[in-house]
A = this chain, B = another copy of it.
Amino acid sequence: MAKIIQHWVKRHSFNLNTLYPKVALMVAAEFWEQGDLERTVLDQQPIVSLWRSVLLLERSHCDKSSNPRFSDFVDKQTGYTTKNILAAPLMNGKDPLGVVMAINKVGGNEFSKADEDLFTKYITFATVIALQHYTSYMYNVESRRSQVLQWTASKVFEELTDIERQFHKALYTVRTYLLCERYSVGLLDMTKEKEFYDEWPVKLGDVEPYKGPKTPDGREINFYKIIDYLLESKEEIKVIPTPPVDHWALVSGLPTYVAENGFICNMMNVAADDYFTFQKEAVDESGFVIKNVLSLPIVNKKEEIVGVATFFNRKDGKPFDEQDEQITEALTQFLGWSVLNCDTYDKLNRTEWRREIAAEMVIYQTKATPAEVQQILVRHHTSSCFKETADCDQREMYKLLRANIPEAKDVDLLLFSFSDLPVSELDLIKCGIRCFFELGVVEKFKVPAEVLTKWMYTVRKGYRDITYHNWRHGFNVGQTMFCLLQTGRLRKYYSDLDAFAMVAAAFCHDIDHRGTNNLYQTKSTSPLAKLHGSSILERHHLDYSKTLMAEESVNIFQSLQKRQFETVQHLHDVCIIATDLALYFKKRTMFQKIVDATEPMADEKEAIAYVSNNPIRKEIIMAMMMTGCDLSAITKPWEVQSKVALMVAAEFWEQGDLERTVLDQQPIPMMDRNKSDELPKMQCGFIDFVCSFVYKEFSRFHKEITPMFDGLNNNRVHWKELADIYQAKVDAIENERKRLEEEQAKKATGEDGGEGGKSKTCTIF
Query: Which among B13, B139, B531 is the interface contact of A138 at CB below 8 angstroms?
Result: B139
Residues of B within 8 Å of A197, CB to CB, are 577-578, 583, 586-587, 623
Query: Which among B92, B127, B301, B330 is the interface contact of A146 at CB below 8 angstroms?
Result: B330
Query: Chain B interface: which of A149-157, A561-569, A650-658?
Result: A149-157
- Cβ-closest chain B residue relative to A301: B157
* Known interface pairs A200-B620, A344-B160, A616-B203; A362-B358 also in contact (CB < 8 Å): yes
Residues of B within 8 Å of A465, CB to CB, are 369
Q: State A590–B200 Cα separation when bound (angstroms).
A: 9
- Cβ-closest chain B residue relative to A201: B590
- Cβ-closest chain B residue relative to A583: B197
* Known interface pairs A10-B124, A301-B157, A341-B344; A531-B129 also in contact (CB < 8 Å): no
- Asked if A356 contacts B527 (CB within 8 A), the reply is yes
Residues of B within 8 Å of A528, CB to CB, are 353, 357
* Known interface pairs A158-B301, A348-B351; A9-B531 also in contact (CB < 8 Å): no
User: Which of A350, A358, A369, A530 has the most B CB atoms < 10 Å from its CB?
Assistant: A358
Query: Chain B interface: which of A81-89, A110-118, A225-233, A331-339?
Result: A331-339
Q: State A217–B527 Cα separation when bound (angstroms).
A: 31
Binding site for B on A (CB under 8 A): 6, 9-10, 13-14, 16, 91-93, 124-125, 127-129, 131-132, 135-136, 138-139, 142-143, 145-146, 149-150, 153-154, 156-158, 160, 195-198, 200-201, 203-204, 206, 301, 330, 333-334, 337-338, 340-341, 344-345, 347-362, 364-366, 369, 461, 464-465, 512, 527-528, 530-531, 540, 573-574, 577-578, 583, 586-587, 590, 616-617, 619-620, 623
Q: State A334–B152 Cα separation when bound (angstroms).
A: 10
Q: State A574–B200 Cα separation when bound (angstroms).
A: 11
User: Which of A135, A345, A360, A577 has the most B CB atoms < 10 Å from its CB?
Assistant: A135
Copies of this chain, complex-wide, total 2
How many whole Å from A744's CB to the nearest CB in chain B?
42
How many whole Å from A346's CB to the nearest CB in chain B?
10
Residues of B within 8 Å of A124, CB to CB, are 6, 9-10
Residues of B within 8 Å of A351, CB to CB, are 348, 351-352, 355
How many whole Å from A562's CB to the nearest CB in chain B?
20
Residues of B within 8 Å of A10, CB to CB, are 124
Top 4 A-B residue pairs of the complex, sorted by shortest distance between their CB atoms: A358-B358, A142-B142, A157-B337, A355-B355
User: Which of A10, A361, A512, A530 has the most B CB atoms < 10 Å from its CB?
Assistant: A361
Residues of B within 8 Å of A92, CB to CB, are 14, 16
Q: State A512–B362 Cα separation when bound (angstroms).
A: 12
How many whole Å from A588's CB to the nearest CB in chain B?
12
Other than A149-B149, A153-B333, give 16 A-B pairs with Cβ distance below 8 A: A132-B132, A135-B139, A138-B139, A150-B330, A157-B337, A157-B340, A158-B301, A197-B586, A198-B586, A201-B590, A344-B344, A348-B348, A352-B355, A357-B527, A362-B362, A369-B465
Residues of B within 8 Å of A620, CB to CB, are 200
- Asked if B139 contacts A200 (CB within 8 A), the reply is no
How many whole Å from A18's CB to the nearest CB in chain B?
12
- Asked if A464 contacts B364 (CB within 8 A), the reply is yes
- Asked if B369 contacts A366 (CB within 8 A), the reply is no
15 example contacts (A-B, Cβ-Cβ < 8 A) are as follows A135-B139, A149-B149, A149-B150, A150-B330, A153-B333, A160-B344, A197-B586, A203-B616, A204-B590, A344-B345, A344-B348, A348-B348, A352-B527, A358-B359, A358-B362
- Cβ-closest chain B residue relative to A355: B355
Query: Which among B196, B362, B578 is the interface contact of A361 at CB below 8 angstroms?
Result: B362
- Asked if B145 contacts A616 (CB within 8 A), the reply is no
- Cβ-closest chain B residue relative to A8: B128
Q: State A344–B16 Cα separation when bound (angstroms).
A: 43
Residues of B within 8 Å of A369, CB to CB, are 465
- Asked if B196 contacts A334 (CB within 8 A), the reply is no
Query: Which among B200, B531, B574, B619 is the interface contact of A353 at CB below 8 angstroms?
Result: B531
Q: State A149–B151 Cα separation when bound (angstroms).
A: 11
Query: Which among B131, B347, B578, B587 is the interface contact of A348 at CB below 8 angstroms?
Result: B347
Q: State A340–B340 Cα separation when bound (angstroms).
A: 12
How many whole Å from A494's CB to the nearest CB in chain B?
17
Q: State A10–B623 Cα separation when bound (angstroms).
A: 83
Residues of B within 8 Å of A338, CB to CB, are 157
How many whole Å from A126's CB to the nearest CB in chain B?
11
- Asked if B531 contacts A357 (CB within 8 A), the reply is yes
User: Which of A6, A125, A153 has the most B CB atoms < 10 Å from its CB?
Assistant: A153
How many whole Å from A55's CB to the nearest CB in chain B?
16
- Asked if A128 contacts B540 (CB within 8 A), the reply is no
Q: State A619–B203 Cα separation when bound (angstroms).
A: 12
Q: State A366–B365 Cα separation when bound (angstroms).
A: 7
How many whole Å from A123's CB to the nearest CB in chain B?
11
- Asked if B16 contacts A206 (CB within 8 A), the reply is no
Q: State A318–B578 Cα separation when bound (angstroms).
A: 58
Residues of B within 8 Å of A138, CB to CB, are 139, 143
